[in-house]
A = this chain, B = another copy of it.
Amino acid sequence: MSRVDELVQMLGRQHVLTGEEAVSYTVDWRGRYSGKSLAVVKPGSTEEVAQVVRWCAANKVPMVPQGGNTGLCGGATPDASGAAVVVSLARLNKIRSVDTDNDTMVVEAGCILQSVQQAARDAQRLFPLSLAAEGSCTVGGNLATNAGGTQVLRYGNARDLALGLEVVTAEGEIWHGLRGLRKDNTGYDLRNLYIGSEGTLGIITAATVKLYPLPVAQCTALLALNSIEDAVSVLSAARKGFGAALTGFELIAGGCLQGVVQCYPQQRIPFEGESAGLPWYALLELSDSESAEHARERFETVVGEAIEAGLVLDAVIAENIAQSKSLWHLRESIPLAEKAFGKSIKHDVSIPVSRMADFVRSTNAALQARFPGIEHVIFGHLGDGNLHYNVAKGQACTEDELLARQDAIYELVHDSVHQFGGSISAEHGVGQLKRDALPRYKDPVELAIMHRIKRALDPDGLMNPGKMLAP
C-alpha cells in the first residue's frame, strides 16, 4: 500500500488531495511561494489530526499545518521536495461552545475569523480580532502567527485573546488545554509558546477565546498633523483622555491619502485648503460604553485641547456611522491604492513609539541617499508602534529596477529598525520570508533557546520544517 493510500484509508478518499486538487494548497495566496506535497489531508476531528501526526511521525514525513492560507510570509507553504503532507484544518470548523457568563467561546482551528466574530455577535458579545483577511483566514492560523490587526491597541494581539488551547504535539498526542480561566499559575506558559510558533512545535486544533461586551457606540475622527512627534503627543493625550475606550490610533502619511483619492476619485480627503495637504494624519476610533453622543462629546473635549495646544491643526469628527465608515474606508484603501500604483517593497515593523519620528526621518534619509527619488508609503498602527513602512518606485526607477533592489532595501530598512530597538516583524510573522534575516537581528542567546525548544518538542524536525528557524 502506498503512503497516500494509507492516508486515504485513515481519512477517506475525499479528504486526501493530490495532483491538481492539491495545487491551491501548495502555493501561497499571493503566489510568492510555491511548493509540492505528498498529499494535502483534511482531517475532520482533533483525533484524526492526531492520527495523521502519529502516522507522519512514524514514517518521518514532514507536516505543514495550514489554515486559510492567507499568510504573508510563506509559513503555510510546503517546500519543493514534495515530501511533506499539508495538514489543512479547514474541516475543524465548529464553534464548540459559547459561555456568555464566563465571556469565553471554544472554537476549532479551522473556523473562519469572520464566523467567529459573528458567533460572538450572535451572543451579544465582541470577539475583537479583526484584520483584512478575516473573510478567509482561520482562527488557527491567527493563533499560529499571533495575528494583530486593527484592534490591538485596546484588546491586544491574537495571543492576548486566547485563554486555552487544544494542541496535537509533534508525536501525535493531544494536549487538552482548553481552559477558560483568566488566572492559572500552575506551570509553564505553554499556551503562549504554541501561539506564534507558526506550526513548528505542534498543531493548534482548538482554542478558548475571550469575549468582550459589544461597544454601545463607536466614533471616528481624522486629525491633520504637522509631524510624527505631534502624533505621539496626541496619542499620549488620547490614552489619558479616553482610557481604554481608545480602540484605534492609525498614523497615515499625507502622500498615502493623496494616493487614495487619486486612485479612487469618489473618495475625498475631508479637509479644505492647507489642511488637505499636510504631511501626517491620524485616524482615531473611540468605542464607547455609553452613547454616540457621549463619544462625540469626549472627542470634542480631548481633540479640542489638542488643537488648543497646537498639536492638531485640523480635525473632522464623524457625525454618524456613515461618516465613520468613510473615514475608515480612506485608511483601508491605502494598500489597494498602493498596489494600483505598482509593486512596492513592504516592511511590517515595530518601533518604540518614542523613537518613531527619528526612525522615519533617519530611514527616509538613508533610503534617499542610496536610492534617490524613491517614494515612501508610510502608514500603520501608531498606538501599537507598528508601521507599514513601504517603499515604492515613484519616478526613481521602473518596477523591475525596484524589485532588483529589494534585498538591499530590506536590509537597509531592517538594519535601521534594529538600530532603533524595533522588530523586523511586528504582526506578520517569520515563515520563509524573514527566516534567514532572523540570525542577523535576533539576540544569539534567544535564538539558541528557540532552537533548544524546537529540538525538545519536535526532535525529528517534522513540524513545518524550514519555517521560522533554519532546519
Contact = CB atoms under 8 A, between A and B. Distances in A.
A424 B385 CA distance: 37
A263 to B, nearest CB: 28
A205 to B, nearest CB: 13
B103 A353 contact: yes
Interface in A430-469: 430, 434, 438, 441-443, 445-450, 452-457, 468
Interface stretch (A16-24, A41-49, A59-67, A174-182): A174-182
The residue in A146, A213, A384 that gathers the most chain B C-beta atoms within 10 A of its C-beta is A213
A336 B19 CA distance: 71
A214 B188 CA distance: 32
A445 B145 contact: no
Interface residues on A, range: 35 or more
A265 interface: no
Interface string A312-340: 00000000000000000000000000000
A186 B430 CA distance: 6
Contacts of A182: 152, 350, 384-386
Interface stretch (A29-37, A114-122, A154-162, A397-405): A154-162
Interface in A227-241: 232-233, 236, 239-241
A188 B183 contact: no
A130 interface: no
A103 to B, nearest CB: 7
Interface stretch (A85-93, A190-198, A268-276): A190-198
A298 to B, nearest CB: 8
Contact of A101 (B353, B426, B442, B445): B353
B236 A421 contact: no
Contact of A185 (B154, B177, B214, B427): B427
A134 to B, nearest CB: 18
24 contacts: A100-B354, A101-B233, A101-B354, A102-B355, A148-B185, A152-B183, A157-B183, A160-B160, A169-B445, A181-B352, A183-B350, A183-B386, A184-B350, A184-B425, A185-B429, A185-B430, A187-B438, A189-B193, A189-B196, A190-B450, A193-B453, A241-B289, A243-B289, A290-B298
